[in-house]
Every structure is written in structure tokens, then in C-alpha cells.
Amino acid sequence: MRRMSLAHEFVEYVPAALEEGVIYVSLRFATVVHLCPCGCASKVVTPLSPSDWQLIFDGEAVSLTPSIGNWSLPCQSHYWIKLDRVRVRAAVGRRRTPDQLASETAALLDSDCTHQLAHRSTRRSKSWLHRLLGKVNRSRFRRDSGGWFSQAAVA
């Protein structure tokens, strides 16, 4: 795996030319598209639905669940996308002992927990929804005009 960090972009239509290191999220078509992070430049399409993949957006980063296994591609890469970062799974064809599997899983969980704790500690105490509404409120409405609701509507 070459690229470990990704950027996300919410789009209505997925562009014809994909940029390396960008995850394109189309909510209109319930699809996430990106180039394989191994560097083979293959297009990876993940449909969003309860039976396929699920997208998690915390206001700052995206995650996809379950893992992405590109078995039909020559690279046969297998990875997770969590908080705009690629978490690599070892090649499927490689034989591993139960001890090796346990240590790989522990290392993956440890790196996930460490990254999530570091990510959370740098965030403000407000939830992502409050931060998003604050940004929308500041950008579209003047605070002195009453924000989303006017005083007349509330009274």
C-alpha cells in the first residue's frame, strides 16, 4: 500500500478523471468512488446500502465499513478506510499462524485506538452537528438577524 492518508470530497456526480488520494462521496447516487490506494490506479466503487458498505461522517473525516477487498484487481488489496486514513490488511494468499493473525489484529486495533484517541483529543468539545450548524449559521445568516428562526416566529 502506498497512500495511507486520504481526503474526502462530497460531490453530486463523480468526476471522469479521479484524483489520487481523494474519496468521492455521491450521496445522490449512494456511492463512494476512489482510486486504489496501493498505487495501481484502479477505480474502486463501493455502493452504499445496509447490505453493502456504510459511510460514517463525523463532520471532519469519513470512514467506510466493512473493509474493502479488491479481489478482482491484479493487486488484490484489502484495507479499511477509517477517519480518512487507510488501514492495510495483509495479503490474503499469505499463510499465517494463529499467533501471527492475533498479533496483526492487535496491532491494527492498537493503531486504530491510538489514532482515534489522538483525533478526538484535538477536537473541540462540541459535537460535529453543533460545529456544522455553527458554520452554516455564520456563513449564511447574520447572528444579529436571529439565525434560523426570527424572534417573531418564536413569540
pLDDT digits (tens, 9 = 90+) for 100-135: 556 656 665 555 554 454 454 444 456 777 676 766
Output 12-15 pairs: Cβ under 8 A, ≥24 positions apart: none
The pairing of strands 7-10 and 22-26 is parallel
Helices (H), the chain: 98-121, 128-140, 151-154
- Cell numbers 463532520 correspond to 59
Question: What mean pLDDT is predicted for residues 30-38?
Answer: 92
Do 32 and 64 touch, CB atoms closer than 8 A? Answer: yes
pLDDT of residue 151: 40
